[in-house]
A and B are shown apart, each in its own frame.
Chain A
Amino acid sequence: MTALTLSRALNEGLRKAMENDPKVLIMGEDVGKLGGVFRVTDGLQKDFGEDRVIDTPLAESGIIGTAIGLALRGYRPVCEIQFDGFVFPAFDQIVSQLAKMAYRSLGNVRLPITVRIPFGGGIGAVEHHSESPEVLFVHTPGLRIVSCGDPADGYALIQQSISSDDPVIFFEPKRRYWDKSEVDLAGAVAAAPALDSARTLAPGEDLTLLCYGPMVRTCVEASAAAREEGKSIEVIDLRSLSPLDVSTIVSSVRKTGRCVVVHEAPVTAGIGAEIAARVSEECFYSLEAPVLRVGGYSTPYPPSRMEEHYLPDLDRVLDTVDRSLAY
């Protein structure tokens, strides 16, 4: 076991993937000498060379578009989009090309590309640096969407994503990059749940709390706080947002009868809405309360001096848990 920050754990995961497969490339803006603005690719260009760790022109559509061409040639590119709000110039290449090429080719073409996107708020950033656009991609068939909640899972999940023959959009909770936890560098991948599987972080009987990415830590803390008040909250880190691990969600909610979904993204038409629909369909006779959501408001991401009011935090999660339990 080694104590690593999330940023470092992802770095180690990328390194491992590059060592294991010479076709794995890293490409993005400032990923080389600088090591990425969050240092996730630190040192990789030095060790693997400029042909495998590519500092690209400042053009996101170009990053994804040329990655597709490299994948057609047999490479396995890992692209970095520097910030969530900068993915939109690449949206067409992701949605219309990356997601659909396998289908268009009747399975003759595979595009094993991983697109890493630091996402979410909480770092006091300017506009376009704190967004949570994951559901835009979840709505696009052909992509797998995942997000890691802590260093150990980040280390495993990034390697699982790169190994997948499907395109994967990998959302990294940027405000958790500096969080530390113990990572088993030798055994983490084998021990991790499958790429499309959720994991239960804290078992509980009274309520199911669903989360991913930056909200994982918040929800684990909420669960601990609730436990002190005698409430037993089951925390599930979804990990995979597309496809959702519906069976894990459903079996938990059938047991607890209550479900709260937490994410930073606006609740309107968000993952929580999708989960509420699935749960109401599959758990109708088990539910003691309606599925409740805690998330961002239907506003653009606000200026950072207001973000503490926008972002779900421990108190808002506990408040919603109490509302659910009061039914």
Chain B
Amino acid sequence: MAVKAAGRAASRTRNHDGPVSGPDNKPELIQLLTPEGERAEHPDYPLELSADEVKALYRDLVLVRRIDFEAIALQRQGELGIWASLLGQEAAQVGSGRALGPRDMAFPTYREHGVAWCRGLDPAKLLELYRGVSHGGWDPKTHNFHLYTIVIGAQTLHATGYAMGIQRDGALGEDGEAVIAYFGDGATSQGDVNEAFIWASVNTAPVVFFCQNNQWAISEPLDRQTKIPLYMRAQGFGFPGLRVDGNDVFACLAVTRKALQAAREGQGPTLIEAYTYRMGAHTTTDDPTRYRLSAELESWKLKDPIERVKQYLIRSGLAQEDFFTSVSDEADEVGARLRKACLEMPDPEPLSMFDNIYVDRNALVAHEREQLESYLSSFAEEDAR
């Protein structure tokens, strides 16, 4: 694990344009809330949050984790085919997700359940995909949240193209639009991600590349993907990169907000490496005990993204026990609603597999649809006999 020892933030001001390292030559980790729940300041990322805003972030984090737990349980009970857990990555997703303006566009992988929540997508829509009822099926325009993309890194090009569209629409400026592309540490090895970096750079496209470095690409640790800290790659492509504590929702919010604003104002892309940890398995079919040590997991438990916000709220007297109880109760309700929606989800009609392949009529599709229809109805005739 080449960059595992990054640890605590080195408190040094950095220039937004260059690779940075602290006095001990370790990558700087931008942090505004320590794992112990203490507020830290960073000269480049001042962040003022009201009590209500902090509480809202806490609520997001808890609800998102609850949705994830419920989905894992549903998979274990045979109601979902598979689930990709976000456990441990809540702060990276909620922080960046809440940094987005309503007109900004997000391009997720298949693990951005926390971002989906922030964008207002019904979590049951995510279950449709993992249950096998649809391949996604939501309208990206409704919440400015694109469809989940399963092929690793492919969406970074879509995000970049979309950002080029914003430029052509003249939608840049202080109140303009920007795009965020999500991907993981493994994806940084993909050609598409590197091509997206190049395209975004030479076009000065308004896109923020948000890499959740959760240390693992299924069984492969970070040192199988990179010899240098990932955020440093940005310099070679000609735009700024930074590393943020991905378990710090405040810092993720602040750095993403700033990068999005820079994008909107025509300054081009930023690479944000949210340094975090995949606390669970890659998906419900994975067994991480085959390839990683529990000691690593234990050390990351001490950096839990939710606990630190709770500690901050308690220490600063912003919230009392009744608040935490009410969020916990709401989480149970959200979980129960999700479970109910999953169990009530009807299987799609077989003939609907022929729908939406093409916009215009396609004779071949129509023909095969008729074939299946008549085949299926032959059983009905048999039954009637």
Residues of chain A within 8 A (CB-CB) of B164 are: 66, 69-70, 73
* Residue A38 interfacial (CB < 8 Å): no
Contact B359–A110 (Cβ < 8 Å): yes
Bound-complex Cα distance A62 to B202 (A): 13
A141-176 CB contacts (< 8 Å) to partner B: 141-142, 144, 164-166
Bound-complex Cα distance A141 to B354 (A): 10
A69 to B: closest C-beta gap in Å: 2
Number of A-B residue pairs, CB cutoff 8 Å, is 152
Bound-complex Cα distance A101 to B146 (A): 11
* Residue B69 interfacial (CB < 8 Å): no
Residues of chain A within 8 A (CB-CB) of B169 are: 73
Residues of chain B within 8 A (CB-CB) of A243 are: 362-365
* Residue B165 interfacial (CB < 8 Å): yes
**Closest 6 pairs between A and B when the two form their complex, measured CB to CB:** A69-B161, A65-B157, A73-B165, A66-B161, A107-B356, A108-B139
> Would you call the interface of chain B mostly helix, strand, loop, or mixed?
helix
Number of contact residues on A: which range applies? 35 or more
> Given contacts A57-B199, A104-B137, A106-B137, are A72 and B160 in contact (CB under 8 A)?
no
Contact A69–B160 (Cβ < 8 Å): yes
B206 to A: closest C-beta gap in Å: 12
Residues of chain A within 8 A (CB-CB) of B360 are: 164-166, 195
* Residue B192 interfacial (CB < 8 Å): yes
A223-245 CB contacts (< 8 Å) to partner B: 242-245
* Residue A67 interfacial (CB < 8 Å): yes
Bound-complex Cα distance A242 to B359 (A): 14
Contact A196–B162 (Cβ < 8 Å): no
Write the A69-95 contact mask toward B (1 if CB under 8 angstroms, else 0): 111111100000000000001001100
**Which A residues fall within an 8 A CB radius of B?**
25, 51, 56-57, 59, 61-62, 64-75, 89, 92-93, 96-97, 100-110, 141-142, 144, 164-166, 195-196, 242-247
Contact B191–A89 (Cβ < 8 Å): yes
Contact A65–B359 (Cβ < 8 Å): no
A178 to B: closest C-beta gap in Å: 33
Contact A51–B356 (Cβ < 8 Å): no
> Given contacts A61-B191, A165-B359, are A72 and B157 in contact (CB under 8 A)?
no
Partner pick for B362 among A72, A74, A196, CB 8 A cutoff: A196
Bound-complex Cα distance A216 to B137 (A): 41
Bound-complex Cα distance A65 to B362 (A): 25
Bound-complex Cα distance A101 to B137 (A): 10
Contact B137–A66 (Cβ < 8 Å): no
Contact A65–B358 (Cβ < 8 Å): no
Contact B356–A68 (Cβ < 8 Å): no
B262 to A: closest C-beta gap in Å: 20
Contact B157–A61 (Cβ < 8 Å): yes
Contact A66–B136 (Cβ < 8 Å): no
Contact B358–A72 (Cβ < 8 Å): no
Partner pick for A59 among B136, B158, B195, CB 8 A cutoff: B195
A137 to B: closest C-beta gap in Å: 14
Contact A59–B198 (Cβ < 8 Å): yes
